[in-house]
Homo-oligomer: A and B are copies of this chain.
Amino acid sequence: MAYAAILGYGTVGSGVAKVLTDNGAEIEKAAGEAVKLKYIVDVRSFPDDPNADKIISDFSVVENDAEVGIVAETIGGTGVAYEFTKRALLAGKSVVTSNKELVASRGRELLGIAAEKNVNYLFEASVGGGIPLLRPLTLCLGANRIEEIKGIVNGTTNYILTCMEKGGMSFEEALDTAQRLGYAERDPSADIEGKDACRKICILADLAFGREFDPEKVRTVGIGGIAAEDIKICSGFGARIKLIARTGQAEGKEYIFVEPHVVMPTCMLNGVSESFNAILVRGNAVGECMFYGRGAGSMPTASAVVGDMIDAVLHREKRRSIGWGAGNSDRISDGSELVSRWYVRSGERWELLDPCSRADTGDWDIKYRIMD
């Protein structure tokens, strides 16, 4: 029997509790032993909740309970989440999380502590929500040199772009719809400015290239400037405008950036609509493969968090080694020299340019890379 605690009983935390309860038999089969939820740490009270008896407000109870081997951090942010994660790892507990902000900014440090204490710090849920992605990338594709990763990793912006395209809405109308339906937060800036996508592509780059990428230094263009007109023009040739997070290796350098792309109908990402996520990975042996699914939401994210719990149980004695080295910003490019086809527009004039770098695109008001 493995004992677990959940930190933060919000959308993801409550999903984790539900999956542990509802799918106990499946989890026991996959992990080789039952995983029992012992505590939920939250400062709020939930009197009518089926797990009310497990809810405590003092994290140190978890920290000092040697029986608890696995902690799921679903608080979010880099404040108390960082403090509790560090303390849990130092107390010899494996930590699993969906917190991309913390992983992107402090992942290397926390993985270092986990390695020292011979426990696991796992974060499959931090990119692509429920989609199996980080483990396939590092393990199944471990025999590949990763050439490129590009994907739709933010469901909120993809939902807004889908509304603009299919519903003929302006950006403001689409954002309003997304907020009303719960796909966008009241303060949607981290999503629409591309910051959330940026954190996620940094985590993917960290794992693929084995060194730290700082989200603060990554060129990030959001979707706020996308005009309904460009979406309409592109749909005329079957293309869709998508916010793409992208990293890869070219000429001995790694590039990384987030910006809207014109995705042609020949590209599998073209069909990824609403709040779905999809990530294309190109390896030098496997060629191109894609991972698609729900990138957010209570149950899909919990699926990945509990998947990591299973992994932590399976590797209690033998820690799974994941890690990346220090960064070296000299070798990181913002992708502007990357050659691609371009969609360009000024006023009513638009063109599709032959493959060239950003430097050669000329003096147009709107410039989006084309993805085939």
A interface residue numbers (CB < 8 A to B)? 15, 19, 22-23, 26-27, 29-32, 124, 130-132, 135-136, 138-145, 210, 268, 270-272, 278, 283-294, 297, 299-300, 302-304, 306-307, 309-311, 314-315, 317-318, 320-321
Contact = CB atoms under 8 A, between A and B. Distances in A.
Contacts of A130: 285-287, 289
Contact of A29 (B210, B293, B317): B210
Nearest to A31: B142
Q: Among A283, A291, A293, A300, find the residue whose CB has the most chain B CB atoms closer than 10 A.
A: A293
Contacts of A299: 285-287
17 contacts: A19-B285, A26-B142, A26-B144, A26-B145, A30-B143, A32-B321, A130-B286, A130-B287, A132-B139, A135-B135, A135-B139, A139-B310, A139-B311, A270-B271, A278-B290, A290-B290, A314-B320
Number of copies: 2
Contacts of A140: 124, 132, 135-136, 304, 307
B293 A139 contact: no
A211 B131 CA distance: 25
Given A142-B310, A286-B299, A291-B292, 11 more contacts: A22-B284, A23-B143, A30-B142, A30-B143, A132-B141, A143-B306, A268-B272, A286-B293, A286-B303, A289-B294, A318-B318
B27 A142 contact: yes
Contacts of A285: 15, 19, 22-23, 130, 299-300, 302-303, 306
Nearest to A317: B318
A284 B23 contact: yes
Contacts of A124: 140
A293 B293 contact: no
Contacts of A302: 143, 285
A142 B287 contact: no
B289 A291 contact: yes
Contacts of A22: 284-285
Contact of A283 (B272, B286, B303, B311): B303
Contacts of A310: 139, 142-143
A292 B268 contact: yes
A307 B27 contact: no
B289 A144 contact: no
Contacts of A27: 142-143
